[in-house]
Chains A and B, each alone.
Chain A
Amino acid sequence: MKYIGVALLLFTIGPFWCLAQVSLNALGKNGSVKIYNITDYGAVGDGAVLNTGAINKAINACTDGGGGVVFVPPGHFLTGTIQLKSNVTLYLDDDATIVATADKTQFTGSKLKPQDPERPINLNTKDTVSWTNAIVLIDKADNVNITGGGTIDGAMVPAEGRHVHGILAFCAKKTGISNIRVTRAGNWSIVGLYVEDFKVTNVTVTDGYDGIHIRQGKHILIRNCKLYCRDDAIAGGYWEHTVITDCLLNSACNGIRLVLPATDLDISYCDIIGPGVFGHHRGAVNNPWITNTLTGIILQPGAWGIGKGGLDNVYIHDIKIKDVQTALTFVLNEGNTADNILVENVTATGIYHNACSVEAWAAGSLFKNIKFKKLSVSYQVTDSAFTHVKYFQRPRTESRPVPYWGFYVRGVKNIEFDHLKMSYTGIETRPLMGFDDVGSVLLKDISYKRVPGVKTLKYSSATKVKLIHFNSQ
């Protein structure tokens, strides 16, 4: 064990004292904090020596000493699972890289608790322990931080089947992940299951499957993260009080995908820009890697397995979506209702497949109040398979073509559009918007490109429609 005061620490690790001080001050009591350098426990950063034992020894020593900082100095530290304990900060130097070994026996996971049938997280895996295998595991531990400027490198992303996650937190309170890079995770890069106070800030994720995936989380903050993922950039569900802000999301699947309910969700100041830097393995045999970005923001509780609950108090604002197939898709499934959704200041350009939609198909599911304010969407649909859609059904897991080019709304009590700008290039033959099973629609200050000879809006007599300043461009 090594015990050093802040003064000595600053002297020892001079060049980054500024950062170190920030985290150490946050953790340390009376101006001192215990530092455990993994190399003092036998770790060797040569990229060849396996360090699973050494790093975990340093963590155990830290825990035995009441918590502190486990310091990873410059080097390539090959390792299996690193199990973080309560009150431990894993601090990665700028030039420190933790590299996952290819030896699968070096990894461990956590034994997930039985699902609450009322709020199932729907991880349908045969063996949850091996499914939860991760490079850094936070298993029933609180007040854990991972920070510094270094990298956690999964070192392999299997094309089919999955390897280990990057960081997995299970039943954890107060988790902070900041300033690091997570790359090439064999499965998801950052996973939270049953977490509370979960903060991911200034993190860059490159490659790997999902970027940040959280199921059952309370008080989640994702800020200033840049996620370049093969699969969904941010996904999950059963979120309470979640803020996603100031992020750059690049994905070969979806930008933000909610597959279970959420309440008090605020998504702001994000750029969601396709196509994916890293491709997703869903293509043809010859070219399996597809880089198209599917939907910018897709909120679809129940899409991957039913999960009851509301999609309530959602505020999506100041978002830029560019060059993706679909901008916004909101879908409810069995057991889900939605209320108080506001989408404001959203600009989407280069949308090349499907209209935005707000859809409830399942019996008993309904969007009560939803409003779009200052929304601008410009479509560039070139494929006639999309502009000549006649029949469509309930969406499955991804958005699909509908017989409207701008918006499709179904199963909604009240919907408002205020300051909406809709345009397209190319040949279009469909109405701008379609409404099925909608109670009332307010369209105010609407500017849209006209499709000659085609009725602009389609709705039944049961829908009360009010138009104010409704003009074609």
Chain B
Amino acid sequence: MFILLVLSNCAVLAQSDRPVTVKVVNINDYGAIGDGKTLNTDAINKAIIACDNAGGGTVVVPAGNFVTGTIMLKSNITLDLDPDSHIIGTTDLSQYKGYQLRREDPNEPINITVSDSAVWTRALILLDKVHDVTITGTGTIDGAGVTDIRGEEGHRGPHGIFIAESKNITISGIRVSRAGNYNIIGLYVENIKLSGITITQGSDGIHIRKGKNIAIDNCKFYTGDDAIAGGYWENAVISNCLINSSCNGIRLILPATHLEIKNCEIFGPGVFGHPRGNAINPLVTRTLTGILLQPGAWGLGGGKLADVYIHGVHLRDMQTALTFILNKGNQGQNIRVEDVVATGITNNACSVESWPDESSFENVKFKNISIAYTIKNADILKTKNFSRIGTESRPLPYWGFYIRHVKSVEFENVRLDYSGIEDRSVMGFDQVGSVHLKNVRYKAVGGIQPFKYKGKTKVTIENPGTFN
């Protein structure tokens, strides 16, 4: 074991691989000291400015524990974190900087309603209106869990990495941990590649509002709050991720078009808890919903949830597998969910719901889906009345699926199972234009009508079947 360690500490190759024409600066040459005590805000920013003055290049963070306030990255800079390098957030809040949020576009509001945006946007690493920036290597950006009583909810501190109004940003290989608020946040961003990142603790993992061309690949999330969240995404691909959250796996709170979620595993319960519990046990680790697409949930935002392709997803041990809901000003179309396996679902049925009269889903398809429920709380079975969803999924009078205000929905090769006692219908359809059920298998609930329809629905069923 010890021999391996010595070898893995060796960064010779990584450095010699860098093209010689690029300016490379080491933060130690600008006075940074990685002793875990010295405050390095000025030294690190000086190194970046020196690199910037040379037209860009690479700023190397060597092995060490570098305590710092906000690091302001400039265009054409690569921040390279050597093995065993840690950038650690200082508890001295005066060392952090934020930026002035741009005014909201009323047609596409990102709904960040904070009284002082310069305080709320503070971050350990800040990318403010820059382009072509890379953060890479194998080191760690550690927010040290810095809290601020002036912050959001009276406790949240600075974010980990804040990407504001920037484009061509790559973050790869690093670990981001214990951010005071979100670990990685992007607002008004374009061409964002996040890969091979491990995120532990902190609030949300990656939160992007208004982003175009987003790729999140091979990342691992172990977050207290939502792992991936945000909205107003255009062309977003989330692939090969392992997602663990004490809230939701993937939560969309504003519209998105061309969203692909593939080959992801979303496993509960959370490793790190979320502080929504009671006085005795404040940290709750239960995972709420695996994939929750709910534009407008935290404040209305007009637009479409369109061309969504979710496939190759494995969900396990959480309250709800999939919840898709539209709010005022939103339309949903071409939603395809394929090759999804969910087990150990403890609370609520999947749902596709639109509640405002003028909103609806069109062309929704579920194919090759298997969901196994294990309802833990018997009260859930008694659900009779329910209303429009709040921010989180809630019990329904159906155990498998609830579909509301959808023009056309198809289910093909779907298996729905439960263990324990059940006395509800498997699926409920409310104001649904057409339903096509092909090879739908479900566990029979004795004496209970399996499908319930409200309103005029055209139903075609091919090769149905039950099992016990």
Mark A residues whose CB is within 8 Å of B: 14-19, 45, 47, 74-76, 95, 97, 149, 181, 202, 204, 206, 224, 226, 228, 248, 271, 273, 275, 277, 282-284, 286-287, 290-292, 294, 322-323, 325, 350, 353, 382-386, 397-398, 400-401
Q: Are the CB atoms of A382 and B13 closer together than 8 Å?
A: yes
| Given pairs A282-B1, A401-B7, 8 additional interface contacts (CB within 8 A) | A17-B378, A76-B280, A283-B84, A286-B34, A286-B35, A287-B65, A287-B84, A383-B8
Q: Does B281 contact A (CB under 8 A)?
A: yes
The reply to whether A275 and B376 contact each other, CB–CB distance below 8 Å, is: no
Instruction: Give, as a whole number of angstroms, the nearest-CB distance from B410 to chain A.
Output: 30
A-B contact pairs, 16 of them (CB 8 A): A15-B377, A47-B280, A74-B280, A74-B281, A95-B277, A206-B271, A226-B269, A275-B175, A275-B198, A275-B220, A277-B200, A282-B5, A283-B5, A284-B63, A290-B5, A291-B175
Known contacts: A15-B377, A277-B222. The answer to whether A398 contacts B13 by CB under 8 A is no
Chain A residues near B267 (CB, 8 Å)? 226, 248
Select from chain B the residue with minimum beta-carbon distance to A45: B280
Cβ contact within 8 Å between A181 and B280: no
Asked whether A273 and B220 contact (CB < 8 A) given A282-B5, A386-B7, the answer is yes
Q: B375, A384: Cβ atoms under 8 Å?
A: no
Q: Is the CB of A292 within 8 A of B8?
A: yes
Known: A74-B280, A287-B63. A18 touches B376 (CB 8 A): yes
Q: Are A75 and B280 in contact (CB under 8 A)?
A: yes
Shortest distance between the CB of A458 and any CB in chain B (Å): 23
Asked if B10 lies at the interface with its beta carbon under 8 angstroms from chain A, I say: yes
Residues of B contacting A400 with CB < 8 Å? Answer: 3-4
Tally inter-chain residue pairs, CB-CB below 8 A. Answer: 103
B420 at the A interface (CB under 8 A): yes
* Nearest CB of chain B from residue A176's CB, rounded to whole Å: 18
- Within the complex, what minimum Cβ distance (angstroms) separates A155 from chain B? 13
B278 at the interface (CB under 8 A from A): yes
A202 cross-chain contacts in B, Cβ below 8 A: 317
A294 and B35 CA atoms in complex are apart in Å by: 27
* CA of A142 to CA of B13, assembled, Å: 57
Q: Nearest Cβ distance between residue A392 and chain B, in whole angstroms?
A: 11
- Are A181 and B7 in contact, with the CB atoms below 8 A? no
A353 contacts which chain B residues (CB < 8 A)? 4, 8
Instruction: Report the bound CA distance from A284 to B11 in whole Å.
Output: 14
Minimum CB–CB distance for A233 against chain B, Å: 13
Nearest Cβ on chain A to B280's Cβ, whole angstroms:
6
List 3 A-B pairs, minimum CB-CB distance, nearest first: A398-B1, A385-B7, A287-B84
Contact A18 B4 (CB under 8 A): no
Pair A277/B271 contact, Cβ less than 8 Å? yes
Using CB atoms, name the residue of chain A closest to B380.
A18
B375 touches A294 (CB 8 A): no
Does residue B379 face the partner (Cβ distance < 8 Å to A)?
Answer: yes
The answer to whether the Cβ of B14 comes within 8 Å of any Cβ in the partner chain is yes
The smallest C-beta distance from B419 to any residue of chain A, in angstroms, reads 10
Contacts of A398 in B (CB 8 A): 1, 4
Which chain A positions have C-beta within 8 A of B376? 16, 18-19, 149
Alpha-carbon distance between A97 and B7 when the two chains are bound, in angstroms: 42
Is the CB–CB distance between A384 and B34 below 8 Å? no
Whether B285 sits at the interface, judged by CB under 8 Å, is yes
Q: In the complex, what's the smallest C-beta–C-beta distance from B343 to chain A, in angstroms?
A: 8
Shortest CB–CB separation between residue A189 and chain B, in angstroms? 13
Write the nearest CB–CB distance from A388 to chain B, whole angstroms.
10
B281 near A181: Cβ-Cβ < 8 Å: no
Pairwise interchain contact B421-A18, C-beta atoms closer than 8 A: yes
Which residues on the B side are within 8 Å of A17 (C-beta)? 378
Give Cα A74–Cα B280 distance, bound, in whole angstroms. 8
Kindly state whether residue B265 has any CB partner on chain A within 8 Å.
yes
CA distance A397 to B2 in the complex (A): 10
CB neighbours (8 Å) of B65 from chain A are: 286-287
Prevailing SS type, chain B contact patch: mixed
Q: How far is it, in angstroms, between the C-alpha of A201 and the C-alpha of B286 when the chains are bound? A: 17
Size of the chain B interface, CB-CB below 8 angstroms: 45
- How far apart are B458's CB and chain A's nearest CB, in angstroms? 38
In the assembled complex, the CB of A403 is this many whole angstroms from the nearest CB of chain B, namely 15
Verify B84–A286 contact, CB threshold 8 A.
yes
Q: Would you list which residues of chain B between 213 and 256 have a CB under 8 Å from chain A?
A: 218, 220, 222, 242
| A397 surroundings in chain B (CB, below 8 A) | 1
Closest to A384 in B: B13
Q: How far is the CA of A16 from the CA of B378 in the complex (A)?
A: 7
Q: Does B367 contact A (CB under 8 A)?
A: no
Q: In the complex, are the beta carbons of A18 and B64 less than 8 A apart?
A: no
Contact assessment for B278 and A95 in the assembled complex, using a CB-CB cutoff below 8 Å: yes
For A228, what are the chain B residues with a Cβ–Cβ distance below 8 Å?
A: 222, 271
B9 beta carbon closer than 8 Å to chain A: yes
Residues of B within 8 A of A206 (CB): 271
Contacting pair B1 A95 (CB below 8 A): no
Q: Which A residues lie within 8 Å of B13 (CB)?
A: 382-384
Docked pose: A16 CA to B374 CA in angstroms? 13
B209 within 8 A of A: no
B312 at the binding interface (Cβ < 8 Å): no
Residues on B with C-beta less than 8 A from A401 are 7
Q: How near does chain B come to A269, taking the closest CB pair, in angstroms?
A: 11
Residues of A within 8 A of B344 (CB): 224
Say yes or no for B36: interface residue by CB 8 A criterion. yes
CA distance A17 to B5 in the complex (A): 50
Interface flag for B86 (CB, 8 Å): yes
A237 and B321 alpha carbons, distance in the complex (Å): 38
Judging by beta carbons under 8 Å apart, are A181 and B1 in contact? Answer: no
Whether A382 lies near B280 (C-beta < 8 A) is: no
**Known A282-B1, A286-B63; contact A95-B281, beta-carbon cutoff 8 A:** yes
Please report the C-alpha to C-alpha distance between residue A294 and residue B4 in the assembled complex, in whole angstroms: 9
Complex Cα spacing A383 to B4, Å: 11
Q: Complex Cα distance A15/B382, Å?
A: 12
A408, chain B: closest CB distance, angstroms:
16
Collect the chain B residues with CB atoms within 8 Å of residue A248's CB. Answer: 267
Contact call A287/B86, Cβ cutoff below 8 A: yes
Kindly provide the distance from the CB of B147 to the nearest chain A CB, expressed in whole angstroms.
Answer: 21
- Are B9 and A284 interface neighbours, CB within 8 A? yes
B144 to chain A, nearest CB (A): 14
**Contact between A284 and B285 (Cβ–Cβ < 8 Å)?**
no
CB pair A76–B14 under 8 Å, yes or no, is no
Within 8 A of A (CB), among B109-145: none
Residues from chain B with Cβ under 8 Å of A95 in the complex:
277-278, 280-281
Residues from chain A with Cβ under 8 Å of B375 in the complex: 18
Give the complex CA separation of A273 and B13 in angstroms: 25
Residues of the A chain whose Cβ atoms lie less than 8 Å from the Cβ of B278: 74, 95
Q: Give CA–CA (A226, B270) in the complex, Å.
A: 10
Q: Which residues 381-426 in B have Cβ within 8 Å of A in the complex?
A: 420-421
Q: B93 to nearest A CB, angstroms?
A: 25
Known: A286-B84, A400-B3. A15 touches B281 (CB 8 A): no
Q: List residues of chain A with CB within 8 A of the CB of B222.
A: 228, 277
Closest chain-B Cβ to A166's Cβ sits at a distance in Å of 16
A17→B1 CA distance, assembly (Å): 48
Chain B residues contacting A292 (CB-CB under 8 Å) are 8
Give min CB distance, B173 to chain A, whole Å.
Answer: 10
Q: A271 contacts which chain B residues (CB < 8 A)? A: 242, 265
The answer to whether B84 touches A294, judged by C-beta atoms less than 8 angstroms apart, is no
Residues of chain B contacted by A383 (CB below 8 angstroms): 7-8, 10, 13
- A389 smallest CB distance to B (angstroms): 10
Q: How far is the CA of A17 from the CA of B12 in the complex (A)?
A: 60
Nearest B residue to A291 via CB reads B175
Which residues in B have their C-beta under 8 angstroms from that of A386? 7
Q: CA–CA, A451 to B7, complex, Å?
A: 23
The reply to whether B285 and A286 form a contact with Cβ atoms under 8 Å apart is: no
Distance in Å: Cβ of A200 to nearest Cβ of chain B = 15
Alpha-carbon distance between A405 and B41 when the two chains are bound, in angstroms: 43
B285 near A385 (CB under 8 angstroms)?
Answer: no
Check if A18 sits within 8 Å of B420, measured CB to CB.
Answer: yes
